[in-house]
């Protein structure tokens, strides 16, 4: 079985088609490694407010693209399975820097897969940390802290899948399969129907689902899970 690499990135913004890396942290069996980098564009005020990383803090750092850090990371990824929360985003950000990810596990999609009734209100990493009572000393919205929470969440999800009788290798394979497929969303977490089941809204306001699908498709960032869900309930 391939080794696992737990990874998190901090970026100049949330647009994977335009933004770039400013911090990368990963954890392997050998320990934790992190690096700060000067991005080729300014850090947005929104990103600074979340990460507390400013343009001044990375002004004298090397670019990720030219770093030994990048070359070392690519070598590890070639031999490992990436584990990340909302992995498609991190993979896209790494791809912007010329780093290729071949195999991955997305703990966000695995968490949704293991909650088919939608009992968990939100699935962002820090919400899951406290909702599931994951006890780990780590700072939120810092790549190092997020990686520690990520690893602990992965272990919780792994155990839940392992308890049904699968082998360790079997669990990893299933996690990878789940990670490749869009999730079927159960509840709205935004908008006028926040908290309502998508299935209920499909019966009372189909036009809203039609409108939302159009918005999601037009969004350059994309939202594969919502597009998949809306098409499912609209029969498309």
Q: What Cα–Cα distance (Å) separates residue 236 from each residue in 20, 187, 229? A: 34, 19, 10
Domain boundaries, the chain: 3-180, 182-236
- pLDDT score recorded for residue 139: 75
Model confidence pLDDT, tens digit, residues 122-147: 899 999 999 999 998 877 667 888 99
Percent with pLDDT over 90 in the chain: 78
Predicted TM-score of the model (pTM): 0.91
Q: How far apart are CA 112 and CA 126, in angstroms?
A: 15
Q: How far apart are CA 93 and CA 14, in angstroms?
A: 10
Picking from 62-76, 149-163, 203-217, 218-232, which range would have the lowest pLDDT averaged per residue?
218-232
- pLDDT score recorded for residue 221: 56
Helix orientation angle between 206-218 and 224-234, rounded to the nearest 10 degrees: 150
Average pLDDT, the chain: 92
Q: What Cα–Cα distance (Å) separates residue 118 from each residue in 5, 115, 158, 231? A: 28, 5, 19, 19
Picking from 14-18, 54-58, 90-94, 162-166, which range would have the lowest pLDDT averaged per residue?
162-166
CATH 1.10.10.10 fits 3-180, yes or no: no
Q: Is residue 177 classed exposed, middle or buried when 0-12, 13-18 and 19+ CB atoms within 10 A define those classes? A: exposed
Residue 90, number of CB atoms within 10 A of its CB: 23
Q: How far apart are CA 91 and CA 98, in angstroms?
A: 10
Percent with pLDDT over 70 in the chain: 97
Mean pLDDT for the stretch of residues 100-128: 94
């Amino acid at each position: 079985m391939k080794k696992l690499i737990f990874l998190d990135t901090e970026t100049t913004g949330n647009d994977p088609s335009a933004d770039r890396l400013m911090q990368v942290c990963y954890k392997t069996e050998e320990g934790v490694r992190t690096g700060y980098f000067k991005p080729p564009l300014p850090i947005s005020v929104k990103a600074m407010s979340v990460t507390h990383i400013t343009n001044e803090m990375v002004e004298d750092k090397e670019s990720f693209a030219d770093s030994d850090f990048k070359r070392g990371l690519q070598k590890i990824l070639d031999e490992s399975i990436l584990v990340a929360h909302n992995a498609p985003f991190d993979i896209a950000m790494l791809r912007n820097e010329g780093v290729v990810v071949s195999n991955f596990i997305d703990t966000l999609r695995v968490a949704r897969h293991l909650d088919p009734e939608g009992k968990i209100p939100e699935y962002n990493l820090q919400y899951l940390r406290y909702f599931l009572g994951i006890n780990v000393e780590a700072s939120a919205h810092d790549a190092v802290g997020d990686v520690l929470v990520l690893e602990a969440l992965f272990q919780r999800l792994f155990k839940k899948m392992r308890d049904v009788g699968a082998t360790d290798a079997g669990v990893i394979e299933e996690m990878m399969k789940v990670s490749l497929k869009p999730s079927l969303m159960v509840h709205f977490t935004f908008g006028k129907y926040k908290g309502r089941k998508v299935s209920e809204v499909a019966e009372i306001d189909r036009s809203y689902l039609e409108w939302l699908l159009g918005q999601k498709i037009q969004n350059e960032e994309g939202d594969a899970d919502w597009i998949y869900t809306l098409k499912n309930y609209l029969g498309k």
